Copies of this chain bind each other. A is one copy, B any other.
Amino acid sequence: MTDAETSKKLAKVVFQPSGRSGKFILGTPVLEAARELGVPIESVCGGRGICGRCQVSVAEGNFAKFGVSSSAQNLSERGPIEQRYDEKRGLAKDRRLSCSTRIEGDLVIDVPAASIVAGQTIRKDGSTTGMKRNPALRLCYVELSVPDLTTPVGDADRLVQAIHESFGIADTIVPFPLISEVQSVLEKAKFKATACVDISGVRPELVAVFPGYTEELSGIAVDIGSTTVAAHLVNLMSGEILASAGRANPQIRFGEDLMSRVSYVMMNEGGREALTQAIRGCVNELTEELLEKTGLNRPHLLEAVFVANPVMQHLFLGLDPTPLGQAPFNPAISRAVRCEAAELELNLGAGAKSYFLPIIAGHVGADAAAVILSEQPQKSGKPVLIVDVGTNAEIMLWDGETLFAASSPTGPALEGAEISSGQRAAPGAIERIRINKQTLEPRFRIIGTQVWSDEPEFTEASKATGVTGICGSGIIEIVGEMLLAGILSPEGIIRGPNTAAEEKRLVANGRTFSYVVWQQAPSLMITQNDIRAIQLAKSALYAGVKLLLDKTNLRGVTDIRLAGAFGSYIDPQYALLLGLVPDCETSQVRGIGNAAGQGALKALLDMDARTEIEEQVLNIKKIETALEPEFQSHFVRAMGLPNSVDGFEKTRKHFGMKPLVLDANSGVKKRRGRRRRD
C-alpha cells in the first residue's frame, strides 16, 4: 500500500494537553478515538449529543513535533445533533461535540479542562481551584431497549447492561431498595433514565436513578469542629463551590471542650444519643440552608464528606467516645467510614453516600488527615511542620522521609477561651494590638473595622459592636507586645508600675499585677493568670513539636504552616516571639487557612484522594505525647518567653531583643500538672 492509499484510510490524531496520539480509520467518532487512547473525555449522555460535556476544539496548523498538519477541515461537518445542541444550549464556533464528530484527516485536538473527567476544577472560587475533579459518583444517561418477549431480562439487569455498554462501567450492584425505584422510574420515563453510579468501591454501585436526562449532581463537604461546623455545597460536575454555611456546634451546651462532652456521655443516660442527635441535626440544618441558598434539588445531593477530631467523629457516627477519654484512648474505628447518609440520619437525596476520612490515632483525627491530604507535606521536597491549632493542637512533621503526627493538649487558651477577657473571634474582639514601649499605652484594632483605636474614626467605627473582648490572635499579640515593652519578664511575670503614669495600665490584682487594655465597660485586662494559661498552652504546643523534632535528625524547620482559624489570623512573628513554634525566619511561618476543610473538599471531589489518604495514614508515625517521658521536661523548659533554652536567636534578632541567659527552670513559677482538654 502506498502512503497515499494509507492516508486515505487512516488519520493521525493527537489529543492535547495529554499528547496521546494514534491512527484511526477515517470516520471514527472523536470520542471513540479518545476512549481508545485512554483520554478521559467526560460524557454524561453516553455519546448522544445531549450533555455537551465532550466538547473539543481543533488546533490549526502544522505541528512538526507530532508530524501532523491539523485543520478543522479534517473533521466532519456539523451534523443535526450538533446543530440541535447549538440551538438548545449554544455551542461556540470553534467547539465540537466529540461524540458526534468524525475524523476525516490528521488532527491535533484540544481537550478543554472542563471536558476532562479527571481534570482540574477551573472555576475561580478560591477554594477548589486546582483540585482534581474525579468524583466517586458518575451520572450515566442511558436509553434502554423497550422490553420484549424475546429478552426476558429484568429492568434492573437491563439498566446494568446499558451502563456497561454506554460507559464501560461493568457489573454495577443494584442495592435492594433501588430495585423497586428502577422499575418505576424506567416505566414512567419510557426506559430513558440517568443513573448515578458510585465507582469508588470494589464493584460499582447504583446510588440513584432519575427519569430522563439530568446533569445535576452535588455533594457537601463538612468540617465538624468542636466549636463550629462548616459546610460547602459543591457541584460535582464542575467542582464549583455553590454555597457555604457555618454555625456553632450545638453540642457546646453539653460542654465547651471535648473532655466535658465525653464526661457528659459518661455521666448521663442517653447522653451519647443526645450529643449525636445534636450534631446530626446541625448538619441537617446546614444542608437545608445550602439547598435553600442554591435552589438545588435534594434528590441530586448524593454525597457527603466529613472531617472531625476523633471525639466529634465518634459522636457523629453514633459511637461511644468514652474510650477516647482515658488511656489508651482506643477508638472504635480508625479506618475511613463509607456508609449511607441515611444511616447517619442525614436528610440528603435518597440513597446518598457519605464518607468520613480515616483518623490517625485516638487523639489525631480525620481533621488532621484532611490537613495532610490538603497540604501534602511529603511532596514539598523539604521538611515541613504543620500545626493545626484548635481546642487542642495537631502537630504533623515531615522530615523528608517519615511523616510524624501527634496531638498536644494545649487547651483552649490560644483560642481565647479560659482567658479573663478572652472571647471567640467575632466582631468587636481585639485582633491586633501594639503597645507603646515608652508610655505603655495600647492601640488596637477590632474585628469588623480596619480603624485603629487611636484614630479619630474609631469611636464611630466601633459603635455597632463595641469593644467586647480579645480573641485568640489578639491575646498572642498582647502577650508578645507586653514582652517587647518590658512589662513581662521572660519568666512570664507582669511587673508593677515604675511611674505614676504607668499606674493607669499596670494595676495590682491581689499579689500580682494586670495590664489594662481597655478601661471602658467592659474593661479588658490581661491578668497574671491569663499569662500563665498562655504559657501552659504554648509550652504544651512547643513541647509536642519538640518531641517530634527529637524523633528526626532535623535541627530546625524552614517551612512552618499554621492551620485552622487561629492559624489563619495569627501574625507569624508573634507566634515566633512567644515560642509557639521552633525558631526560624518569620517569613518561613505562614497561615494556611482551614486546611482540614480543604482536605474534605478534596476528598469530595476526587475519589483517588480518599485512597491516597487511607494509605498515607497507615504510614504515619503516631507519637503519643503521654507516653513520652521527654514531653514533660520539654513542656517545663518551654514556659519561658520566647523559650528558656532553645535559643530563638532569629526571633530575638527580628525583634531586636538581647540574648537570653536563664537556667532551665527559671521560666517556671508554679509547676502545674499536665492538663488534657482535647
Residues of A participating in the B interface, judged by any CB pair closer than 8 Å: 147-150, 152-157, 174-177, 179-180, 182-184, 187, 202-203, 317-320, 323, 327-335, 337, 339-340, 343, 359-364, 622, 624, 626-627
Q: Is the CB of A152 within 8 A of B622?
A: yes
Q: Is the CB of A335 within 8 A of B154?
A: yes
Q: Is the CB of A319 within 8 A of B179?
A: yes
Q: Is the CB of B152 within 8 A of A332?
A: no
In this complex, which of A152, A320, A359, A627 has the most chain B Cβ atoms within 10 angstroms of its Cβ? A152
Instruction: Give the residue of B149, B177, B337 whose beta carbon is less than 8 angstroms from that of A176.
Output: B337
Q: Is the CB of B157 within 8 A of A333?
A: yes
CA distance A587 to B153 in the complex (A): 38
A149 with B626, Cβ < 8 A, contacts A155-B330, A155-B331, A335-B154 known: yes
Q: Is the CB of A152 within 8 A of B319?
A: no
Nearest B residue to A319, CB-CB: B180
CA distance A359 to B152 in the complex (A): 10
Q: Is the CB of B339 within 8 A of A149?
A: no
Q: Is the CB of A343 within 8 A of B152?
A: no
Q: Is the CB of A177 within 8 A of B343?
A: yes
Give the chain B neighbours of A147 by CB distance below 8 A.
323, 328, 330
- 23 pairs, A vs B, C-beta closer than 8 Å: A148-B328, A149-B627, A152-B328, A152-B362, A152-B364, A152-B624, A154-B331, A155-B331, A175-B339, A176-B317, A176-B337, A176-B339, A176-B343, A177-B343, A179-B317, A179-B333, A180-B320, A182-B333, A183-B332, A183-B333, A184-B320, A202-B202, A202-B203
Q: How many copies does the complex hold?
A: 2
Tell me how far the C-beta of A29 lies from the nearest C-beta in chain B, rounded to whole angstroms.
31
Nearest B residue to A622, CB-CB: B152
Give the chain B neighbours of A332 by CB distance below 8 A.
154-156, 179-180, 182-183
CA distance A334 to B177 in the complex (A): 15
A333 with B202, Cβ < 8 A, contacts A149-B327, A323-B187, A328-B147 known: no
CA distance A444 to B593 in the complex (A): 93
Give the chain B neighbours of A174 by CB distance below 8 A.
333
User: Secondary structure of the A side of the interface?
Assistant: loop
Nearest B residue to A160, CB-CB: B335
Nearest B residue to A335, CB-CB: B157
Give the chain B neighbours of A152 by CB distance below 8 A.
328-331, 334, 360-364, 622, 624
CA distance A360 to B177 in the complex (A): 22
Nearest B residue to A322, CB-CB: B187
Extra contacts besides A147-B330, A150-B627, A183-B320 (20): CB < 8 Å: A147-B323, A149-B328, A152-B328, A152-B329, A152-B363, A152-B364, A152-B622, A154-B330, A154-B332, A154-B333, A154-B334, A155-B330, A155-B331, A155-B332, A156-B333, A156-B335, A157-B335, A179-B337, A182-B332, A202-B202
Tell me how far the C-beta of A315 lies from the nearest C-beta in chain B, rounded to whole angstroms.
12
In this complex, which of A153, A182, A202, A622 has the most chain B Cβ atoms within 10 angstroms of its Cβ? A153
Give the chain B neighbours of A202 by CB distance below 8 A.
202-203
Q: Is the CB of B320 within 8 A of A153?
A: no
Tell me how far the C-beta of A357 lies from the nearest C-beta in chain B, rounded to whole angstroms.
13
Give the chain B neighbours of A335 by CB distance below 8 A.
154, 156-157
Give the chain B neighbours of A337 by CB distance below 8 A.
176, 179
Give the chain B neighbours of A176 by CB distance below 8 A.
317, 337, 339-340, 343
CA distance A202 to B319 in the complex (A): 27
CA distance A319 to B184 in the complex (A): 9
Nearest B residue to A627, CB-CB: B149
CA distance A328 to B334 in the complex (A): 51
Tell me how far the C-beta of A227 lies from the nearest C-beta in chain B, rounded to whole angstroms.
24
Instruction: Give the residue of B154, B179, B333, B624 whose beta carbon is less than 8 angstroms from that of A150.
Output: B624
Give the 10 A-B residue pairs with the shortest CB-CB distance, closest first. A152-B361, A176-B339, A154-B334, A183-B332, A147-B330, A154-B333, A156-B333, A154-B331, A149-B328, A202-B202
CA distance A364 to B149 in the complex (A): 13
CA distance A319 to B154 in the complex (A): 12
CA distance A174 to B320 in the complex (A): 17
CA distance A576 to B396 in the complex (A): 83
Give the chain B neighbours of A364 by CB distance below 8 A.
152
Q: Is the CB of A180 within 8 A of B149?
A: no
Tell me how far the C-beta of A405 lies from the nearest C-beta in chain B, rounded to whole angstroms.
10
CA distance A329 to B155 in the complex (A): 11
Nearest B residue to A320, CB-CB: B183
Q: Is the CB of B149 within 8 A of A183?
A: no
CA distance A149 to B361 in the complex (A): 9
Tell me how far the C-beta of A359 lies from the nearest C-beta in chain B, rounded to whole angstroms.
8
Tell me how far the C-beta of A312 lies from the nearest C-beta in chain B, rounded to whole angstroms.
15
Give the chain B neighbours of A154 by CB distance below 8 A.
330-335, 359
Instruction: Give the residue of B180, B182, B323, B327 whose beta carbon is less than 8 angstroms from that of A318.
Output: B180
CA distance A176 to B331 in the complex (A): 15
Tell me how far the C-beta of A187 lies from the nearest C-beta in chain B, rounded to whole angstroms.
7
In this complex, which of A183, A317, A330 has the most chain B Cβ atoms within 10 angstroms of its Cβ? A330
Nearest B residue to A340, CB-CB: B176
Give the chain B neighbours of A323 by CB distance below 8 A.
147, 183, 187
CA distance A445 to B651 in the complex (A): 109
Q: Is the CB of B183 within 8 A of A153?
A: no
Nearest B residue to A151, CB-CB: B328
In this complex, which of A175, A177, A183 has the most chain B Cβ atoms within 10 angstroms of its Cβ? A183
Instruction: Give the residue of B156, B334, B340 whose beta carbon is less than 8 angstroms from that of A153.
Output: B334
